């Protein structure tokens, strides 16, 4: 019996954002592996075993999934958003590279999903409508100095920016430092967008000038988008639209 | 009768990547507006009018869609990929900002889609698994000097990179200049991925060292991904996996 491993993105929370490709993989699976709240999104059924695990055990979880696939199971590792954006796909390939030689020849597929920054962007207009970058603000896995360097270079490049994992209880000071760096490097009142629980019924979008942003506006359920120097706000009855124009005039 | 305007992402080409949310909007629509090949992806049915238009008329197309929504139609503007990534959402909001005042109070929604870079990343592993940026290489709407500046700063930040619109018949020299700039700025043989017709039956993924990349490897149906300095290749029977590790050691 030949097993398989699929690393699938469930999107940011609303089931109407799960692609039919991912749904078909879930329907075929014998085993679902992932972080507890993501595994909870998969419906139980006969013949399906759920293997929820805690945060920060990504490599152990990957090895477990690879072992089960080697044994002939049809395993789906579930991620929130897109599995290739600050999620499980890189962890699984790290486990493949450092693990059993025959894991390399397993049937491994990554199925894309709607990543949080694109759902957040859609929810307020098109702030990522021109060149942009995506930065994970967690310093669990990289030094703070590298984050700060990237923020300054991204501001110099005048990218719009998306920030994942802005703030956690264990790193309350990180996002404060990031905001100060951005306020200093950008030097203007461009819009910053705090998108919490994006695509869920309790979604909350808060658009403020960068100069007025404070660390408490974000938590671990928030993705943060920052405009470029050219990002525009369209005032209207109700929440404003925010967008970054497609064109930059010649110099 | 109150109209509506939805700007929807059809994903990179495979219908199994269209979200149920987007499919529901297509099923409710009275009018579909968009670039010819994208409108062709929507099934005809009684009560639905298709309005295909040519490339480079994005603002005219947006105004037409907004006018029809004002008249009470349920209009869907279709984009390939995600509408907020180098696609129609920014064009529609530009038309809103500069158009009829009452367009601002229309019911306008953006529905995200699977953008090409994430489908391409999934097809070869997880090359965007760490901080990354997305750059449109077309210089139709911005000066070449800005593109070059962004490429150099992105290399200095050690971002993985995704490039949209790398090459067209009208700009055969642009991608050659971009490759030379990247080869110079990166100074190594990190993997570059040429993903053509991603997610379609004739998808083709070509992974080469940056030092060996040549301009003819890309055309307008190609999205190009470049690893960071830390991106790894896992050799195996068949196409290699490419991934960027999640962690960077402290300095």
Write the residue in A129, A133, A159 that is nearest to B89 by C-beta: A129
**Residues 51-110 of chain B whose Cβ lies under 8 A from any Cβ of chain A:** 58, 82-86, 89-94, 96-97, 104-105, 108-110
pLDDT of residue A180: 97
* Residue range A27-46, pLDDT digits in tens: 999 999 999 999 999 999 99
Contact B141 A104 (CB under 8 A): no
Asked if residue A124 and residue A238 are part of one domain, the reply reads yes
Flag whether A144 is in a domain. Answer: yes
Mutate to test the interface with A, among B5, B83, B89 (most CBs of A within 10 A): B89
Asked if residue A132 and residue A64 are part of one domain, the reply reads no
Asked if residue A180 and residue A136 are part of one domain, the reply reads yes
Domain that holds residue B147: 117-243
Asked if residue B132 and residue B72 are part of one domain, the reply reads no
pLDDT of residue B1: 63
Residue A132 has pLDDT above 90, yes or no: yes
Flag whether B130 is in a domain. Answer: yes
What is the CATH number for A194? 3.30.950.10
Asked if residue B171 and residue B73 are part of one domain, the reply reads no
Flag whether A248 is in a domain. Answer: no
pLDDT of residue A170: 75
Mean pLDDT of B188-200: 98
* Residue range B44-84, pLDDT digits in tens: 999 999 999 998 899 999 999 999 999 999 999 999 999 99
Distance to chain B for A22, nearest Cα, Å: 8
Least reliable range by pLDDT among A68-82, B118-132, B167-181: B167-181
Quick check: A250 contacting B, CB < 8 Å? yes
Mutate to test the interface with B, among A100, A103, A118, A245 (most CBs of B within 10 A): A118
Residue A197 has pLDDT above 80, yes or no: yes
Distance to chain B for A213, nearest Cα, Å: 23
Give me the number of domains chain A comprises: 2
Per the model's pLDDT, the better-predicted residue between B170 and A66 turns out to be A66
Per DSSP bridges, beta strands B241-243 and B232-234 are antiparallel
Mean pLDDT of B126-146: 94
Asked if residue B25 and residue B106 are part of one domain, the reply reads yes
Mean pLDDT of A69-88: 98
Mean pLDDT of A134-143: 90
């Amino acid at each position: 019996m030949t097993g398989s491993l699929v690393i699938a993105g469930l999107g940011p929370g609303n089931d109407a954002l799960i692609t039919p490709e991912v749904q078909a993989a879930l329907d075929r699976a014998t085993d679902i592996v992932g972080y507890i709240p993501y595994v909870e999104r998969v419906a139980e059924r006969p013949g399906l075993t759920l293997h929820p695990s805690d945060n920060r055990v990504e490599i152990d979880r990957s090895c477990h999934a690879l072992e089960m696939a080697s044994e002939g199971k049809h395993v789906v590792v579930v991620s929130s958003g897109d599995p290739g954006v600050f999620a499980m796909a890189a962890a699984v390939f790290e486990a493949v590279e450092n693990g059993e030689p025959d894991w390399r020849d397993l049937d491994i597929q990554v199925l894309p999903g709607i990543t949080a920054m694109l759902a957040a962007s859609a929810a307020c207009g098109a702030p990522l409508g021109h060149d942009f970058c995506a930065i994970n603000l967690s310093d669990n896995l990289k030094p703070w100095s590298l984050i700060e360097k990237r923020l300054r270079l991204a501001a110099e490049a005048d990218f719009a920016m998306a920030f994942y994992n802005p703030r956690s209880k264990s790193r309350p000071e990180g996002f404060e430092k990031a905001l100060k760096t951005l306020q200093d490097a950008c030097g203007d009142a461009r819009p910053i967008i705090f998108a919490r629980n994006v695509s869920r019924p309790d979604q909350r979008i808060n658009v403020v000038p960068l100069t007025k942003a404070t660390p408490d506006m974000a938590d671990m359920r928030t993705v943060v988008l920052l405009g470029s120097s050219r990002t525009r706000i369209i005032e209207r009855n109700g929440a404003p639209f925010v967008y970054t124009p497609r064109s930059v005039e010649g110099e």
